[in-house]
Amino acid sequence: MKRIGILTSGGDCQGLNAAIRGVAKGLYEHYGKDVEIYGIQDGYRGLIHGEYKLMDRDNFSGILTLGGTILGTSRQPFKMMRQIEDDKVDKVRNMKENYKKMKLDCLVVLGGNGTHKTANLLSEEGLNVVSLPKTIDNDVWGTEMTFGFHSAAEIATNVIDCIHTTATSHGRIFIVEVMGHKVGWLTLQAGIAGGADVILLPEIPYDVNKVVKVLRRRNERGSRFSILAVAEGALSKEEAAMSKKEFKAARASMEFPSISYRLAHELSERLSQEIRVVVPGHFQRGGSPCPYDRVLSTRFGTAAAQLIINKNYGNMVALQNGEIVPVPLKEVAGKLKTVPTDCSLIRSARDIGVSFGD
């Protein structure tokens, strides 16, 4: 009998259930009745506290198009994994003990960056681990694409599309804040797809004077409106020059809830045009996965099942040059796939006149 544990960890995204289904169906097809799959509740939290249950085949049917995760999820910061907190729980020891209690042959982990650091830690601690890269941010190192990204990009693009019509009617400036604290893939994708005039990313610190100049120039040329796609982690040039401590203090003293509102305030002091802010927020992570994500999740899920069948543990499944390949967890852990500032996507946007505020 093969025993496999499966958990989803970190922020949810579209395609998690499709990927869980891919893993389960891939295993059932191969092992038939000779496999038991344990669903671990709320990510690493369930593994730490022993919250899991034996699933059956039916649990994995009818979930291909379902958003969220049937297993639940939670954020368990990697930096706290080896810390003993007030509850006196030794998290790593507990996770290893529960793995043993379930008599697992392999733990399957679906997650983003933080999740992969812990997955690697568990692998280094001797557990058999296989992982799948999920996140709307598409910032997991080693894979060209994560599932969730295209669905979120579709939603964010739709927001920009809708904003276009009202922005035109009223002749306003709109700032659309797109998710992504550390990386700007989603903002870049939705910004280009939605025809934003200005795109601000964490990777390209902006100069507010440049943004003002671009907006004024558009006005002078007769454009009634402007749309800015701004990543929630976009930074000004001054902020980018700060130390981590200075930056934290500066942000903490900000009277505005987010970068978009602060930018709107700064721009309103210099421009006479009306400015509005739209923050779609977690909308971007909700709902059904788009066809691309359903397919990618299924491919990742079945590839993960194959890794388990072949006992090829300690790997994340990844998309590279159109193929699904294993990438060692130790290579993935701790790295972030940011937007290269000279990539062709950025160049192409610049070529059509998009400003990055730099």
> What is residue 119's three-state secondary structure?
helix
Helix then strand then coil, % of the chain, to nearest 5: 45, 20, 35
62: left (phi over 0), alpha (psi -120 to 50) or beta: left
What is the rounded CA–CA span in Å between residue 178 and residue 357?
16
Q: How far apart are CA 108 and CA 127, in angstroms?
A: 11
Q: Does 135 bind ligand F6P (CB under 6 A)?
A: yes
| Interface stretch with ligand F6P, choices 175-183, 234-242, 262-270, 347-355 (CB under 6 A) | 175-183
Q: Minimal distance in Å, beta carbon 189 to ligand F6P?
A: 13
The interface region with ligand F6P, picked from 33-41, 129-137, 236-244, 265-273 by CB under 6 A, is 129-137
Residue whose pair of structure tokens reads 């941010």 in the numeric block: 137
Q: Which residue is nearest to ligand F6P (CB)?
A: 179
The rounded distance, in Å, linking the Cα atoms of 181 and 317 is: 24
285 is a site residue for ligand F6P (CB under 6 A): yes
Indicate whether 179 belongs to the interface with ligand F6P (CB under 6 A). Answer: yes
Name the one range near ligand F6P by CB under 6 A: 93-101, 179-187, 201-209, 332-340.
Answer: 179-187
Q: Within 13 Å, how many C-alpha atoms sit on residue 67's CB side?
A: 17
Alpha helices, DSSP H, located in the chain: 16-31, 44-49, 91-101, 113-124, 149-170, 185-193, 208-220, 237-240, 244-252, 259-268, 291-309, 329-332, 344-351
From first CA to last CA, the distance across the chain in angstroms is: 59
Of 137, 139, 197, 293, catalytic: 137
Asked whether 249 and 204 are in contact (CB, 8 A), the reply is: no
Does 180 bind ligand F6P (CB under 6 A)? Our answer is yes
Nearer to ligand F6P, 180 or 357 (CB): 180
Tell me if 293 sits within 8 A of 154, measured CB to CB.
no
Per CB under 6 A, the segment of 47-55, 101-109, 177-185, 309-317 that binds ligand F6P is 177-185
Under the binding rule (CB under 6 A), the answer on residue 136 touching ligand F6P is yes
Q: What is the Cα–Cα distance from 275 to 105, expressed in whole angstroms?
A: 56
Choices 37-45, 131-139, 161-169, 197-205; region in contact with ligand F6P by CB under 6 A = 131-139
198 three-state secondary structure: strand
Residue from 42, 137, 203, 293 touching ligand F6P (CB under 6 A): that is 137
Whether 58 is catalytic is: no
CB nearer to ligand F6P: give 230 or 305.
230
C-beta closer to ligand F6P: residue 74 or 288: 74
Nearest of 41, 51, 137, 69 to residue 337 by alpha carbon: 137
Q: Cα separation of 150 and 148, whole Å?
A: 6
According to the binding rule CB under 6 A, does residue 18 interact with ligand F6P?
no
Single-letter code of the amino acid located at 279: V
CA distance readout (Å), 148 to 18, 47, 237, 296: 11, 24, 30, 9
- Stretch 209-238 residues interacting with ligand F6P (CB under 6 A): 232
Q: Which parts of 74-93 interact with ligand F6P (CB under 6 A)?
A: 75
Count of residues engaged in binding ligand F6P, rule: CB under 6 A: 11
Q: Which residue in 11, 26, 205, 289 binds ligand F6P (CB under 6 A)?
A: 11
- Residues in 93-122 at the binding interface with ligand F6P, rule: CB under 6 A: 112
Binding of ligand F6P at residue 69 (CB under 6 A)? no
Q: Give the shortest CB-249-to-ligand F6P separation in angstroms.
A: 21
Catalytic residues, by residue number, are 137
Residues making contact with ligand F6P (CB under 6 A): 11, 75, 112, 135-137, 179-181, 232, 285
